[in-house]
Structure 1
Amino acid sequence: MGEPFVIEPEERKPLDTPYHDNMTARELVNPEFGSDNIVFRITEIEPGKRAVDDWHAHDTSEQLFYILSGEGTLRMSETGREEDEEIYDLVPDVFAFIPPGTYHNAWSTGDTPLRMIVIWTPPYESFEDWNVDSDNESDESESQ
């Protein structure tokens, strides 16, 4: 178990994460920073960009989104198939729950970054464990 602490998000360096070229993310707590059970991240997605190059699923982690500012869209599918996807608007004070194994991707649709809290539990072990579907062809819906 880690020691208690209080920090400003800017005190954490932005992550250098695979698949996440269009966003800035700072993990405030994770196993490296004292928590064995949760990852808490502040994420900003650039206007008009996707968070991740392709949609993906986390096999063992629940993921939570809480929108702080900006506008965006979230697509999700339990099967990973385009015909099964559901699309949701992301605006301030919207909350999203993403169960393990649910394919998803978020993108910023406004003129300012989409800023949100992202939580994982249990924490992911490594980015290589993510189930990324680079063959999915639903990118055209993201530019609308």
Structure 2
Amino acid sequence: MRKVAIDEVDIELSPLGVHSVRRPVSDALGTEHFAMNYFELEPGESFSGGLHTHHDQEEVFYVQSGEATFEVADEPDSGATETVSVGAGEVIRFPPGQYQEGSNDADNDEPIVGFAFGAPASKHDWEEIESVLHCSECGEETGHGLSLTDDNSFEFDCNECGNVLSF
């Protein structure tokens, strides 16, 4: 058994700089088959930083307070998204392969406090994540594979032409 207070879990931020508070609770608890991250999102911040999917993991988001906006798509195309609002006390689930991006709209007056849960593993398999980005080489929006570099930054590889973007 392990017990931890959320505010005692160290903050770990995305290399993309898209949120100011992310606490990897599953790391602090030592889980192996379940991911749990606590978030506080100020207006204009997001959970992930872009439309993406996990081909090997389902995700559930619980909004404790505030209202999150999710863009959802069944294909790697931000022009084909549906917008879904998730308010305090509500949850939303994304199956493996469904594209999503959750954020706190810039014009909201209050922060979002919530949790992201993932299974069946406590850590991402970076090779199973696909992000939707504009490719300067292809000249259009395409799916990109994602990898985490040794210096803790992200590298995105265009699935169409192989062009590499680093953040």
Give the TM-score, by structure 2 length: 0.70
The alignment-based identity, stated in percent, is 20
- Once residues 110 and 126 of structure 2 are traced to their aligned partners in structure 1, the CA distance between those partners, rounded to angstroms, is 27
Given the alignment, which residue of 111, 114, 119 partners 1:113? 111
Answering whether residue 65 of structure 2 is matched by residue 69 of structure 1, we say: yes
- Once residues 79 and 124 of structure 2 are traced to their aligned partners in structure 1, the CA distance between those partners, rounded to angstroms, is 30
CA deviation after TM superposition for structure 1 residue 19, in Å: 3.1
Gaps of 5+ in 1: 138-144
- Once residues 12 and 97 of structure 1 are traced to their aligned partners in structure 2, the CA distance between those partners, rounded to angstroms, is 25
Answering whether residue 23 of structure 2 is matched by residue 26 of structure 1, we say: yes
- Which residue is equivalent to 2:88? 92
Q: Given that residues 77 and 132 in structure 2 are in contact (C-alpha distance below 8 angstroms), is that contact kept between their aligned partners in structure 1?
A: no
- Which residue is equivalent to 2:44? 48
- Once residues 77 and 26 of structure 1 are traced to their aligned partners in structure 2, the CA distance between those partners, rounded to angstroms, is 27
Aligned residue pairs: how many? Answer: 133
Q: 1 or 2, which has the higher helix percentage? A: 1
Q: Given that residues 61 and 100 in structure 1 are in contact (C-alpha distance below 8 angstroms), is that contact kept between their aligned partners in structure 2?
A: yes
Deviations 1:36-87 (A, max 9, x none): 1101111111212333332111110000001101122111111122343211
Change over 3 Å in CA distance of 1:21–1:85 after alignment to 2: closer
Gaps of 5+ in 2: 135-140, 143-167
Q: 1 or 2, which has the higher strand percentage? A: 2
- Once residues 81 and 6 of structure 1 are traced to their aligned partners in structure 2, the CA distance between those partners, rounded to angstroms, is 41
- Once residues 77 and 115 of structure 1 are traced to their aligned partners in structure 2, the CA distance between those partners, rounded to angstroms, is 24
Given the alignment, which residue of 99, 102, 118 partners 1:103? 99
Answering whether residue 130 of structure 2 is matched by residue 131 of structure 1, we say: yes
Q: Given that residues 64 and 96 in structure 1 are in contact (C-alpha distance below 8 angstroms), is that contact kept between their aligned partners in structure 2?
A: yes
